[in-house]
Amino acid sequence: MRWLVALDVDGTLIDHDEVMSPVVREAVRDVVAAGHHVVVATGRSLDSAYPVLGWLGLAPSEDADAKPYVSPMVCSNGAVTVQVDPALPDGHQVSDVVTFDPAPVLRLLVQDLPTAAFAVEDVGVGFKVAGKFPEDELTGRITHVAFDELLAGPASRVVVRSPEHTPQDFLEITSRLGMKGVNYSVGWTAWLDLAPEGVSKASALEVVRQRLGVDPARTLAMGDGRNDLEMLRWAARGVAMGQAPAEVREAADEVTGTVLDDGAAAVLATLPR
């Protein structure tokens, strides 16, 4: 009877000031204690996603007397999957990385967005960056490089940021360019995430589900962003947060309260104990 419970981070578990409600924290811990598989599924890179387990009280070193939290974690919108296990040297290790050749799509985008900043994720380390990102938007070690260096090798994730554009501008640009060979999602701000074609939180979670042996009918996913669309459709029970855009709410089976109303906790309380 164990469920696979996939939880987005920003806008679902924490608000946009990176504050986690104690109510949500306890609700997640209760679901873990009940024996369900809680899988953090986020657009954050590994170095930014892993601390979330500490905020939830699930980090390997949080409580030596507690049952160890052993679980996969989906990062970088599905391009990177991590196994969390206190028995591992660092408490976790990368188990899956999917990459693509970013050069064709980067050459295409820079023609439309010549003043944008571009970044390629260096898994577990940080980002290689061409241009200037707003302070603190990227985590890990930031290495500034020439744009052409971003084209040089395979990438698991590419980020495009252009503060002078709106999310609607990005949606129009991506639609008009008809980018091939990649999967993309537009964030709340003028932020564009590029991943290998066919890769999403949903694709990574399906691999996780099969490895864990969970019945597809016992899958729940909760999120609030456009990068959660595939995940909400994949789950037997897809739940959108109350503040999610209309297209995300429409893709879900149900809508809960907002992140400020502890909407995630209300849904988690309905799972079998």
Per-residue pLDDT of the chain (273 residues; tens, 9 = 90+): 899 999 999 999 999 899 999 999 999 999 999 999 999 999 999 999 999 999 998 876 545 556 789 999 999 999 999 999 988 988 899 999 999 999 999 999 999 999 999 999 999 999 999 999 988 889 999 999 999 999 999 999 999 999 888 888 888 888 888 887 888 888 767 889 999 999 999 999 999 999 999 999 999 999 999 999 999 999 999 999 999 999 999 999 999 999 999 999 999 999 999
Could you give the CA distance from residue 179 to residue 177 in angstroms, rounded to a whole number? Answer: 5
Inter-residue contact 229 to 251 (CB < 8 Å): yes
Structural domains in the chain, CATH included, are 4-97+199-268 (3.40.50.1000), 103-196 (3.30.1240.10)
**DSSP symbols for 71-116:** EEEEEGGGTEEEEE-TTSTTSEEEEEE--B--HHHHHHHHHH-TT-
